[in-house]
Amino acid sequence: VHGPASALILFSDTGGGHRAAAKALDGALRRLEPDVRVTWCDPLIGQGKAIARRVGSLYPTIIKRSPRTWGAIFHASNNPASFVAIKAALRAQLRPVLERQIAVADPDVVISVHPLLNHVTASLLSRGRRSRALVTVVTDLVDVHRGWACRRADLVIVATEAARAAALRRRLRPDRVLNLGLPVDLAFRPAEAGEKQALRRRLGLDEERPTALLVGGGEGTGGLLTQAQVLAADTNPWQVIVICGRNQALRRRLLSCSFETPTLVLGFVDDMPELMRASDLVVGKGGPGAVAEAIASGLPIVITSFLPGQERGNVRYVREAGAGRYAPRPRRLLTAVTDLLGGDGSVQRDMAARARALSRPQATLQIAAACLRIARAYRADAQASR
Ligand code: UDP
C-alpha cells in the first residue's frame, strides 16, 4: 500500500472531553505512524453552520445553569423516534461541512469521538466514490447513548464491559464492538518517586502537603466555588489546586477569596498531566475525561456531581472499583477528603492502588492501532480498485 495513512477525526467542543479524546488519539496515531496524515473537524461548533453552531454552543450554558434540563434533553434524544428526527435535523446541518472536509482530507478512516456525528457520517461514507472506514470511539464510560451505536460503523470502541453490553443491546455486531478503554492523552501516568515533590515545588506549593486537585471539566462547572470554600476556607492539613477551565467568572471569584488552607487558583491549563502528578486526589464532577485521567494518573477521585444522562454510570464504576467516592454535599465532601488526605495516608494509598489496577495504559495506543489497521485495509482496497 503506497503513501501514509490518512485519518479524519470528528469531534466537537461541547465540553472538553471530546477534544481531549481527539488530542489523545492524534498523539497515539502519530506515535505509531509518524507520517500519518491527521485532520480534525468540529462540524457542530468550530466549522459548523450557523444553527448547529448556535445550538451546540448552548451546551456549556445548559450544563452550568441547569444540569436537570440537560438530563431531560439526553433522555428525550435517546428514544428511537426523537433520534430519527434529530438525525434528520443534523443531516441538513452537518452534510455540507462533512462533505467538504472528507473531500479535502481524503481520509482512509474517519474516527468519530462524538455521539451526534456517527450516523450522518456513515450515510455520507456509504454514498462516497471511494470506500472509507468509520471508527466510533465512545468517550463515555458506561452509558451508551443511541447516537454512539451506529450499525454501519466498522468498529465501535468502548471503555468497559458494561458499555459493550449496552452497545450489543443496541444490536451492534459483536465482532465490531471492542472494549479497549477510553482514549487518554499518553502524557497521563502515575508520578515516579520524587516527581510529585519536584512538580509541587515548580508550582510554588508545599512539597510535602497532601494535595487535592479540583476540576470541573473544560467549562469549570459543577460547583467548584463551594467545593473550594468547603476544602480551603478553614485550616486543613492539605493544600488545594483549583482548575477553573474556561470559567473566567469563577476564577475571578476564587482569586478574591481568602483561604486558610493553601490554595492555587488556575484558569484553563494545558498541563493537566503534570498537575495530576503533583496531586494525591482529584475532586470534581464525574466527567469521563476527569475520571479516566485520574485513573491513568493512579489517583483516587471524589466525584461531587455528574451530568444526568451520560455521566451517571461513571459514579458506580468508580465506587464499585474502590477507586473513588461520591460526595454530592459539602459535608460529605469534607468527610471524604479528610478520610483521604487528613489521616496517615493509608486510605489514599489503598484507593490509589485500586485506581492503578483499573488503568489501561495501553488503551489509547491500542485504539490508534485498530484505526490504523482498518485504514490500511481500506487504503489497499481503494488502490486496488483504481
Ligand atoms: N481540561 C484541560 N484544561 C482545563 C480544564 C480541563 O485540559 O483547564 C481537560 C481535562 O484534562 C479533560 C477535559 O478537559 O481532558 C474535560 O473533560 P471532562 O470529560 O472531564 O468534562 P467535560 O468538559 O467534557 O464536561
Q: Cα-flanking dihedrals φ and ψ of residue 38, to 5°?
A: -120, 125
Concatenating the DSSP letter of every residue in 194-209 gives THHHHHHHHTT--SSS
Instruction: For residue 224, name the pLDDT band (cuts at 50, 70, 90).
Output: very high
- Distance in angstroms (rounded) separating the CA atoms of residues 112 and 148: 9
Output the pLDDT for position 237: 98
Q: What is the pLDDT of residues 12-26, one digit of tens each?
A: 988 778 899 999 999
Q: How far is the CA of 186 from the centre of ligand 1 (A)?
A: 15
Amino acid at 329: R
Instruction: For residue 251, name the pLDDT band (cuts at 50, 70, 90).
Output: very high
Residue 156 or residue 286, greater confidence: 156
Q: How far is the CA of 290 from the centre of ligand 1 (A)?
A: 6
Instruction: For residue 222, name the pLDDT band (cuts at 50, 70, 90).
Output: confident
Concatenating the DSSP letter of every residue in 213-266 gives EEE-TTTT-SSHHHHHHHHHSS--SSEEEEE-TT-HHHHHHHHHS--SS-EEEE
Residue with cell 434533553: 73
Helix orientation angle between 288-296 and 17-32, rounded to the nearest 10 degrees? 50
140, 148 in Cβ contact below 8 A?
yes
| pTM as predicted | 0.91
What is the phi-psi region of residue 325: left when phi exceeds 0, alpha when psi lies from -120 to 50, beta otherwise?
A: beta
Q: What ligand 1 atom has the least distance to the C-alpha of 272?
A: 11
- Mean pLDDT rounded to a whole number for the chain: 93
Q: What is the pLDDT of residues 188-205, one digit of tens each?
A: 999 999 999 999 999 999
Average pLDDT over residues 263-275: 96
- Residue nearest atom 17 in ligand 1 by C-alpha distance: 17
Of 215, 244, 268, the residue with max ligand 1 atoms within 8 A of its CB, to mutate for a pocket test, comes to: 215
Residue with cell 506549593: 205
Output the pLDDT for position 94: 92
Q: Is the pLDDT of residue 61 over 90?
A: no
Output the pLDDT for position 287: 86
Element (H, E) at 9: strand 6-10
Pocket of ligand 1 (CB under 6 A): 15-17, 20, 217-219, 243, 245, 268-270, 272, 287-290, 293
Residue 280 or residue 64, greater confidence: 280
Average pLDDT over residues 132-136: 98
Give the range among 59-73, 186-200, 224-238, 316-330 with minimum mean pLDDT. Answer: 59-73
Q: What is the pLDDT of residues 140-190, one digit of tens each?
A: 888 889 999 999 999 999 999 999 999 999 999 999 999 999 999 999 999
Q: What ligand 1 atom has the least distance to the C-alpha of 267?
A: 8
Instruction: For residue 309, name the pLDDT band (cuts at 50, 70, 90).
Output: confident
Instruction: For residue 340, name the pLDDT band (cuts at 50, 70, 90).
Output: very high
Among 134, 137, 136, 140, CA closest to 163: 140
Q: What ligand 1 atom has the least distance to the C-alpha of 245?
A: 8
